[in-house]
Amino acid sequence: MGMLGCGMPFQGGYSASKAAVASLTESLRMELAPVGVQVVNIVPGRVKSTFFQSSNGDVLPEDSIYAVAREAIEGPMNGRTSVSDREDAGEWAKRVVQGMTSANPPHLVYRGGQAGAGKIASTFPLGTWDWLFKKWSGIDVLEQELEKRKNQGKS
């Protein structure tokens, strides 16, 4: 899951792994509560990291139907997105610890760049943000191109 609590286009595997961890965390939270163990799900926003340093520069095939949205798709795959709202990892860690060290920590701890926006956005019904995800991922460009091709075929 992305920080908005849903899958993001072209990030299905990554989103699925986060969803699995969130589900496991919720199960453990209830299972371990009777023995005094508190389990907290940390929901990270954007944090500066070396995550993409091992990226091999993935590219779409030249003849891919998605090529019309190449930059929007390849940029996030290779870490070429805005870093201005990514929180320093050390500061992020301090804030996470602060959120978890109270006597009664919350079940969910949101920390990192844009985490507050993610928390608010996650309260909306699934599908509310599809238009935004389509724009971020280039799917809107693909849809326009496919519609254009469809209309050209009719003339």
Instruction: Identify whether residues 91 and 43 lie together within a single domain.
Output: yes
Model pLDDT, residue 63: 93
Mark whether 113 and 73 lie in a shared domain: no
Residue 33 has pLDDT above 90, yes or no: yes
Domain shared by 43 and 2, yes or no: yes
Angle at 84 between CA 71 and CA 132, to 5 degrees: 50
Structure confidence at residue 5 (pLDDT): 55
Contact between 72 and 138 (Cβ < 8 Å)? yes
DSSP assignment of 37-98: ----EEEE-BB--STTTT-------TT-GGGGGHHHHHHHHTT-S--TTPBPHHHHHHHHHH
Domain boundaries, position 66: 58-82+127-155
Q: Do 154 and 89 fall within a single domain?
A: no
Cα 136 to chain centroid distance, Å, stands at 12
* Cα–Cα distance measured from residue 119 to residue 5, given in angstroms and rounded to the nearest whole number: 8
Residue listed under structure tokens 């072209």: 10
Has residue 10 been placed in a domain? yes
User: Is the domain of 98 the same as that of 117?
Assistant: yes
Q: Which pLDDT tens digit goes with each residue over 55-93?
A: 777 788 999 998 888 888 888 777 666 666 788 889 988
Using the Cα atoms of residue 50, residue 54, residue 20 and residue 133 in order, give the sign of their dihedral.
Answer: positive
Number of domains in the chain: 2
Please answer whether residues 45 and 115 qualify as being in contact, where contact means their C-beta atoms are separated by less than 8 angstroms: yes
Same domain, 96 and 38: yes
Q: Assess whether 89 and 41 both reside in one domain.
A: yes
Catalytic residues: 14, 18
For the stretch 91-120, pLDDT in tens is 988 988 887 888 888 888 888 777 777 778
Whether 53 is covered by a domain: the verdict is: no
